[in-house]
Amino acid sequence: MTPLKLTMLGMDALNDNTVNIRLKVDSKQPFVVIAGQFLRLHFTQDDGLETFRSYSIASIFPEEKTIMNEVDIAVSWVPGGLATEKLSKMQVGETLEATGPYGRFCLLPDTHKRYFLIATGTGVTPYRAMLKEIELRLQQGSEFYVVMGAQDETGLLYQADFVAMQQTYDNFHYIPCLSRVQREEQGSNDQAGYVQTYLAQHDFDTENDIAYLCGNPNMVDDTFSLLKEKGMPVPLIKREKYISPAPKKK
Ligand SMILES: Cc1cc2nc3c(=O)[nH]c(=O)nc-3n(C[C@H](O)[C@H](O)[C@H](O)COP(=O)(O)OP(=O)(O)OC[C@H]3O[C@@H](n4cnc5c(N)ncnc54)[C@H](O)[C@@H]3O)c2cc1C
């Protein structure tokens, strides 16, 4: 896998607990990446062992497969976390080692009638990366639902990009599912509760729909079970769970 040097260009708060980090990518070979893929950032544990944490590329890709010289990632801080500790202290101009790109959580070449792109938290970033390809498929007549789970409005990361798409295309639906606090000024698609509560009300066309699940592992597991019960074939339920690798031992 291509070794990369990443240089911090800037960090902006998305909410109290999440930041967007801009990184310059230096690579011996062109860094060719497909929307939906992720990077592994390399870190050293306190005991000196090398480990990594994965982050999806959050930038809106100019096209589905492209060379990137700069990428955005969205990072939610985890109290006491290794990457949290290191990344939150990084200054502009500091560097990190990484490898990538990895992953197959990408739009398949076959087009589907309806796409359900389901996320919690930073799990929405692969869908942001895919927005230009999504637009092409909307123009070809596919319908997209981005179903976004958060505790409250501040968790609706990058919502402006999805709302803009919804304002342009009747066949694009952005569905915020707020589990704790509803918005004072509710959007027309707002749902109270988890993404599962919303999806439970849906009927699925098990031959023509496809679903993508990304983010919190419990959400991914629960929603996977729900969609299977509703008859969705397993190959048409794509999953990416945001978990850390087990700590390395000497
Ligand atoms: C393919 C892939 C893509 C990912 N993309 C992203 C991304 O785009 N943005 C992002 O923020 N994360 C992403 N993750 C998760 C990320 O890799 C780290 O797991 C996360 O940032 C926590 O790392 P840490 O080193 O700060 O905490 P760790 O040192 O890994 O964890 C510290 C402690 O907190 C627990 N913990 C870990 N994560 C959480 C959590 N979310 N909530 C509560 N407790 C937790 C751990 O079990 C551990 O006990 C992705 C994971 C995968 C596998």
pLDDT band at 121 (very low <50, low <70, confident <90, very high): very high
Q: Report the alpha-carbon angle 73-78-79, nearest 5.
A: 145
Q: Could you report the per-residue pLDDT of 153-198, keeping only the tens digit for each?
A: 999 999 999 999 999 999 999 999 999 999 998 889 999 999 999 9
36 in Cβ contact with 71 (< 8 Å): no
Tell me the CA–centroid distance for residue 186 and ligand 1, in Å.
Answer: 31
What rounded mean pLDDT belongs to the chain?
A: 96
Query: Ligand 1 centroid to 242 CA: how many Å?
Result: 6
Q: Which residue has the higher pLDDT, 211 or 250?
A: 211
The CATH architecture annotation of domain 114-241 reads: 3-Layer(aba) Sandwich (3.40)
Q: Quote the pTM value.
A: 0.97
Residue ranges per domain, the chain?
3-102, 114-241
Strand order across the beta sheet in which 209-215 lies? 191-192, 172-178, 143-150, 114-120, 209-215, 237-241
pLDDT at 156: 98
pLDDT at 59: 98
Atom of ligand 1 nearest to the CA of 240: 1
Nearest alpha carbon, ligand 1 atom 18: 244
244 lines ligand 1 (CB under 6 A): yes
* 59 Cβ closer than 6 Å to some ligand 1 atom: no
CATH number, domain 3-102: 2.40.30.10
Q: What is the CA radius of gyration of the chain?
A: 18
User: How are beta strands 65-67 and 50-56 bridged, if at all?
Assistant: unpaired
